[in-house]
Structure 1
Amino acid sequence: MSTPDPNIPETSDPLAETLHMLRLTGTLYCRGELTAPWAIAIPRIEGVMIFVTVTSGSCWLTLEGHAPRLLNQGSLALIPHSTPHVISSAEGMEGAPLFEQPVEKVSERYEIMRYGGGGVLTRTMYGVVRFDDVAAEHLLKFLPEIIMIDAWDDQAGGWLQSTLRFIANEAASLKPGGETVITRLSDVVVIQAIRTWLESGSASDTGWIAALRDPQIGRSLALMHRNPGIDWSVEQLAMRAGMSRSAFAARFSELVGQAPLKYLTEWRMRIARGKLIDTTQGLAAISQDLGYQSEAAFCRAFKRVFGHSPGAVRRSGSPHEPAGINVPEDASAA
């Protein structure tokens, strides 16, 4: 393994740096043209996040276990854990099953749903997306069931207002290449919505997010995230954090819930799992990139973390987590 370089620069904002690592994979985007009365029931879709934004008109969102919420034009609702919900033209309506509704396929990732009784028109943009990043596995645990943002409220910031207006304009005309513009902008909106929620102070003061915000522990986490192949020791991380070894180890375990080197090993193995699923990079190269002197040592560490070998992941895409999203072929979003 390579040894720590004392010249590796520190970061002033470990949380922001970690958010920049997030990579979002768009699975499906749908423009809804919905005329009252209408109601659509969206089931849980494992492994994805869902968002809905109203580009024209208004609708009701009823999340399982929550009171109904009115979404006006410019509102954004992000549902990080894909909690089942109903969107409707009026409060309290029973939704028609999502996957039974006809859609117009514009492209592999973009479609249009026209549905309803012919009354007042509401336009929505609906997205089914997933994060393809090791940082997201930690982040998602701490996100609430729903994040609400009113884009027309100055408190949300001009970025969301202008971005959603751009999406609305593109969705209304759908010029050549418009679906590409919409999907890319939607990716930005999801990440920015999470950032806005974090900056609002709503996140817990314990756990991984709190650890990233901690001036000393956050610094050590950022070093491990940026340089997972380095042969970090607890002493070296403590020194970079400006703490004694014992105080650092205790504080790290208190906030993160794991000892520093166990966290580092699991971070490396999740990176490795992503490479095994998404690339053709060989085991020897992956193990070397992550600081292991031998492929055998890497394989042993991988099996300790996941309970199966790297080869099993490469052959199947992942024995316990699907490489893709299990959305039916005719899956559509309102």
Structure 2
Amino acid sequence: MDLLSQLITTVRVSSPLLSELCIGRDSCCIIDAFLGAPFHYVVEGRVTLTRGGETRELQPGDFLLMPRWTTYEIANGTGATRLRLKDLADAPNLQPSFEALDGALRVVVGPEPYTARLLSGIAVFDAMSLAGLGRALPDIVLLPDAANRLRPWTQAAMALVGEGERPAAPGFVAIASRAVEMLVSVALRDWAAFAEHEAGWLRAVHDERLARALNAMHSDPGRRWTLADLALRAGMSKSVFSETFLQMLGETPFDYLRRWRMHLATQQLLDTRVSVAQLASELGYRSALSFSRAFRVTNGCTPAEFRRR
């Protein structure tokens, strides 16, 4: 599996919220910080998104995801009519709890005519997905002019919005979760493959030398890698490899390897009944005790305690 695919496989949405966001002319929707990663796909009209002093102009076909949610605004035109999303009577499901994020609704902001329409939602990633993605993604993931590439998934999501406005049919939440998961995954794949990345994991993926070392660690996480081994895979001297890796990814090769092993460990503990001793051996630890100690340092609990949660 290539490195980009390994990133995408970490996307697991535990609870979705889908909505059709309709914004009237010269109106502004203020969206306060909350749980999860909000996303917007512009269906119709042009809007301006402002977040922390940064402004983005969005047009039909643009997709935007914010992995780290802070308060932001979406304005249609001048934005003279300003409304907070949480205060809108048309959005009763927007309450500060995960349990509420399981439906679909139509949110109307400002007076008619509603000249801007967005497919909007919240992807509440499970903890391990967020840990895996967080270091690889910027504050704003923007995929411009994505209408053709995302059409099958945006159409499916819009259909679910209509279905969710009625009394939810059995299985709605599970299907909506998969729809959001697919939409976000495809958008991340395209963004990761084609966007310019200044630094970080995604820039390293596009560096042939570092990508070879990363792929080696990902493919064989249980091997007792040495700096010489990894530098050889990258075709670099040990000193240049260490310096380049740290500069590009912000951590040493062995800190990265430890994080990758812990990420795999949490997935295995959640998804399988593999024993702690076997998992320790598969991930390159000399004993279950040394693995448990490393796991506690990273996750604040032992593997057994994590599995019981």
Fold match (TM-score > 0.5): yes
Residue 123 to residue 289, structure 1, CA distance change in 2 (3 Å): same
1:215 paired residue number: 208
Does the 8 Å CA contact 1:35/1:115 hold for their aligned counterparts? yes
2:149 paired residue number: 159
| Matching of residue 54 in structure 1 with residue 54 in structure 2 | no
Amino acid at match of 1:203: H
Amino acid at match of 2:13: T
Normalization by structure 1: what TM-score?
A: 0.70
Amino acid at match of 1:44: A
Task: Find the partner of 2:30 among 25, 38, 41.
Answer: 41
Displacement of 1:90 after TM fit? Answer: 4.5
d(CA) in 2 for partners of 1:18 and 1:120?
Answer: 44
Number of residue pairs matched?
A: 296
| Matching of residue 86 in structure 1 with residue 73 in structure 2 | yes
2:197 paired residue number: 203
d(CA) in 2 for partners of 1:116 and 1:255?
Answer: 42
Displacement of 1:51 after TM fit? Answer: 0.3
Task: Find the partner of 1:140 among 90, 115, 134.
Answer: 134
Structure 2 residue runs without a partner (length 5+): 94-99
Q: How does 1:308-319 map to 2 (within 5 A)?
A: 308-311=301-304, 313-314=306-307, 317=309
Structure 1 residue runs without a partner (length 5+): 1-10, 318-334
Does the 8 Å CA contact 1:29/1:125 hold for their aligned counterparts? no
Amino acid at match of 2:282: D
d(CA) in 1 for partners of 2:233 and 2:23?
Answer: 59
What is the identity percentage for the equivalent residue pairs of Structure 1 and Structure 2?
26
Amino acid at match of 2:7: L
Task: Find the partner of 2:15 among 9, 13, 27.
Answer: 27
1:113 paired residue number: 106
Displacement of 1:296 after TM fit? Answer: 0.7
2:97 paired residue number: none
Q: How does 1:1-334 map to 2 (within 5 A)?
A: 15-32=3-20, 34=22, 36=24, 39-46=28-35, 48-57=36-45, 59-67=47-55, 69=57, 71-92=58-79, 93-98=81-86, 101-103=89-91, 109-116=102-109, 119-121=112-114, 122-132=116-126, 137=131, 139-141=133-135, 143-151=137-145, 156=146, 158-168=148-158, 171=161, 183-204=177-198, 206-276=199-269, 281-306=274-299, 308-311=301-304, 313-314=306-307, 317=309
User: How big is the alpha-carbon RMSD for the aligned residues of Structure 1 and Structure 2?
Assistant: 3.8
Displacement of 1:25 after TM fit? Answer: 1.1
Amino acid at match of 2:191: W
Normalization by structure 2: what TM-score?
A: 0.74
Q: Helix, strand or coil for the counterpart of 1:95?
A: strand
Q: Helix, strand or coil for the counterpart of 1:28?
A: strand
Residue 103 to residue 251, structure 1, CA distance change in 2 (3 Å): closer
d(CA) in 2 for partners of 1:108 and 1:255?
Answer: 36
Displacement of 1:217 after TM fit? Answer: 2.0
Displacement of 1:182 after TM fit? Answer: 5.5
